[in-house]
Structure 1
């Protein structure tokens, strides 16, 4: 068994032993899906969404995007900053195991949690609410991969800068909630002013959400959305690598 495999297994146990993290990661997206999905007319075709239902083109993509954002912007940086605060990263830097392996293990655990919950959202949505699978599966897969990379790169930057777990949670929340407002979560992108519609397509959370909305409806994501996600993924990762401190 490799060092990375052992570290990933250990981090997975830590993640699962904290009853709050799995409950939040699974509970909030599924609660959003069920609460809004059971509203009258949610699964009926709506001209506002190109003849598709609000459930398939707004609610389900929103649940997936909020899941990725919670993992990337709050849980992941909080865990890494807490390890720095407790001196674990410093001790690892003096051992034969490079601290980067712990970073990789944390990313793998969070991405695995994301995959599980996305499958739950698709399964529960299909069986209970009758949500169709994404109409453009290739575009959906590309959008969710780029979206995860963009959001986790922002989380990595937060983890690089935050000295403590509490600071990481505060910074993550300060990034997360404005992105909800400007990304088309609280108000669908179509109802935002034209300028803010472009902002929603550029921010990592908004570009992920709106690309998933388009692909779930069978359309293609916009190049602006894909480009914005790629730029954030590369840019934030490059900055985080330069400023990251293990102690």
Structure 2
């Protein structure tokens, strides 16, 4: 068994051992989907959304996006900040195991959680609530991958700068909630002023949400959204690798 496999297995056990983390990661997106899905008319075709339901073109993509953002901006940097605070990263830096392996293991565990919960959201939505499947599967997958890369790169930058787990959680939350407001979560993008609609398509959370909304409805994501996610992924990862501190 390789070092990376052992580390990933260990990180997965740590993640699952804390009952709060899996419960929040799985519970909040599914609760959001079910609560809104059981409201009368939520799954009826609506001219506002091009004949698609609000559940398919707003709520389900929102649940997926919130899931990724919670993991990327709070769970992931908090874990790395806690390891730095406890001196684990310092000890790893002096061992034959490259500390980068721990970063990779953490990313793999969180990305696996994303895959599992996205599958649950799509499956439960389709089977229990009759939510239509994404109409543009290729565009949906592209938007999902780019969105995860963009948001996790921001989380990596937070983890690179935060000295403790508590600081990482605070910084992550300070980014998470404004992105919810400006990204089209609290108020749908169509109801925002024109300038803020462009802001929603540029911020990583908003770009992810609105690209998933478009592809779930069978449309193509906008190039601005895809470009913004790619730029955030490259820029934040580059900065994080330069400023990351192991101790």
TM-score range, shorter chain: over 0.9
The TM-score with structure 1 as length reference comes to 1.00
Q: Aligned residue pairs: how many? A: 247
Q: Per-residue deviation at 1:126?
A: 0.5
Equivalent position of 2:98 in the other structure: 98
Equivalent position of 2:80 in the other structure: 80
Give me the whole-angstrom Cα distance separating, in 1, the residues matched to 2:36 and 2:171.
Answer: 29
* Aligned residue runs from structure 1 range 54-73, under 5 A: 54-73=54-73
* Aligned residue runs from structure 1 range 38-53, under 5 A: 38-53=38-53
1:215 alignment partner, SS class: helix
Equivalent position of 1:160 in the other structure: 160
RMSD: 0.3
Query: Which string of whole-angstrom CA distances, capped at 9 and with x for unpartnered residues, describes residues 117-175 of structure 1?
Result: 00000111011100111000000000000000000000000000000000000000000
* Aligned residue runs from structure 1 range 100-115, under 5 A: 100-115=100-115
Equivalent position of 1:120 in the other structure: 120
1:23 aligned onto 2:18: no
Q: Per-residue deviation at 1:236?
A: 0.2
Give me the whole-angstrom Cα distance separating, in 1, the residues matched to 2:50 and 2:156.
Answer: 37
Give me the whole-angstrom Cα distance separating, in 1, the residues matched to 2:38 and 2:179.
Answer: 26
Equivalent position of 1:142 in the other structure: 142
Equivalent position of 1:227 in the other structure: 227
* Aligned residue runs from structure 1 range 132-211, under 5 A: 132-211=132-211
Give me the whole-angstrom Cα distance separating, in 1, the residues matched to 2:202 and 2:53.
Answer: 25
Unpaired runs of 5+ residues, structure 2, are: none
Give me the whole-angstrom Cα distance separating, in 1, the residues matched to 2:193 and 2:46.
Answer: 21
1:3 aligned onto 2:7: no
